[in-house]
Structure 1
Amino acid sequence: MDIALMSMSLNQGKVQQRASLLVMKIAMGNAKQQGEAVQELISSANVKTLQQAAQSHLGGNIDLKL
């Protein structure tokens, strides 16, 4: 086997792996920022409004018997 070809192939694999890791780190950073934004939004929102949005079918009707 040609040593130069093997060396080039190995280096190309390393470069691809580094690029893949960098892309993954960027994606993880974006996901972390989005998660923090969602947490901040939930903590600043009114709990009753969130419950009503999640269960909009509840509380719309009242059954009365006289």
Structure 2
Amino acid sequence: MTYKNNLDQTVFLVDSLRTIGYDVVIVNQPTYPENLVQQNPPIIDGGADYIERNAMAHVALYQALK
């Protein structure tokens, strides 16, 4: 996770945030098969899953971090 600053230098976002005192948490929402028993199960894209399920996953994460 990088960006270019005004001097056209590459800056690492996570390092910049940590330097100014922020904690950085990166959430991995993987792709996985819906059913492990089925021969060709539909694939679930964790980041594009139901918004309600993603919201509850984030709520649980924030409660665990708290």
TM-score bin, normalised by smaller chain: under 0.3
TM-score for both structures, normalised by structure 2: 0.26
TM-score for both structures, normalised by structure 1: 0.26
Which one has the largest radius of gyration? 1
